Structure 1
Amino acid sequence: MKTLVDHLAQYAAYHRDRRNIISHFIGIPMIVLAVTVLLSRPGIPLAGLWLSPAALAALLSTLFYLRLDVRFGLLMGGLLGLCLWFSAGLAMGSTALWLSTGLGLFVVGWIIQFIGHFYEGRKPAFVDDLTGLIIGPLFVAAEAAFLLGLRREVEDEVVQRAGPTCIRQRKVI
Structure 2
Amino acid sequence: MEQIQTHQRRRQIDVLLSRYAESHQHPVNEIIHCVCVPAIVFSFLGLIWSAHPLAAYAAVMTSLIYYFFLSPRFAAGMLLMSAAMLAVFPLLPQAHIWQIALVVFVVAWIGQFIGHKIEGKKPSFFDDIRFLLIGPLFVLGFLYRRLNLAY
Superposed pair shares fold, TM > 0.5: yes
Deviation at 1:7, TM superposition (A): 1.2
Other-structure match for 1:78: 80
- 2: distance between equivalents of 1:88 and 1:126? 31
For 1:35-78, what per-residue CA distance to the aligned partner results, in whole angstroms no more than 9, with x for missing partners?
011100333xxxxxxx4211100001111111111111101111
- Inter-partner Cα distance in structure 1 for 2:72 and 2:55: 24
Measured against aligned partners, the alpha-carbon deviations of 1:56-112 in whole angstroms (never above 9, x if no partner) come to 00001111111111111101111011111112333xx342x2122111110111111
Question: Residue 60 in 1 paired to residue 33 in 2?
Answer: no
Query: Within 1, Cα distance between the matches of 2:94 and 2:84?
Result: 20
Offset, 1:144 = 2.0
Q: Does 1:12 align with 2:11?
A: no
Task: Read off the aligned partner of 1:140 and give its amino acid letter.
Answer: V
Max Rg structure: 1
Other-structure match for 2:137: 138
Alignment of 1:47-126 (within 5 A): 51-90=53-92, 93-95=93-95, 97-126=96-125
Paired residue for 2:43, among 30, 34, 38?
Answer: 34
Q: Percent identity?
A: 34
Mapped to 2, the partners of 1:116 and 1:77 lie a distance apart of: 27
1 or 2, which has the higher helix percentage? 2
> Which residue identity lines up with residue 79 of structure 2 in the other structure?
G
Contact 2:49 2:56 survives alignment (8 Å): yes
Distance in 1 between residues matched to 2:146 and 2:122, nearest whole Å: 24
The letter of the residue matching 2:83 is: G
Contact residue 50 and residue 94 of structure 2 kept, 8 A? no
Alpha-carbon contact 2:124-2:131 (below 8 Å) kept: yes
User: How far apart in 1 are the matches of 2:12 and 2:110?
Assistant: 30
Counterparts of 2:59 and 2:17, CA distance in 1: 21
Q: Give the gaps of 5 or more residues in structure 2.
A: 1-10
Q: Which runs of 5+ in 1 are unaligned?
A: 44-50, 155-173
- Counterpart CA distance in 2 for 1:17 and 1:147 is 18
TM-score where L is the length of structure 1: 0.76
Deviation by residue 1:131-151 (Cα, 9 ceiling, x = unmatched): 110100111001222233333
Root-mean-square deviation over aligned CA pairs: 1.8
Aligned residue for 1:39, secondary structure, equals: helix
Distance, in Å, in 2 between the alignment partners of 1:148 and 1:101 is 32
Q: Which residue of 1 aligns with 2:3?
A: none
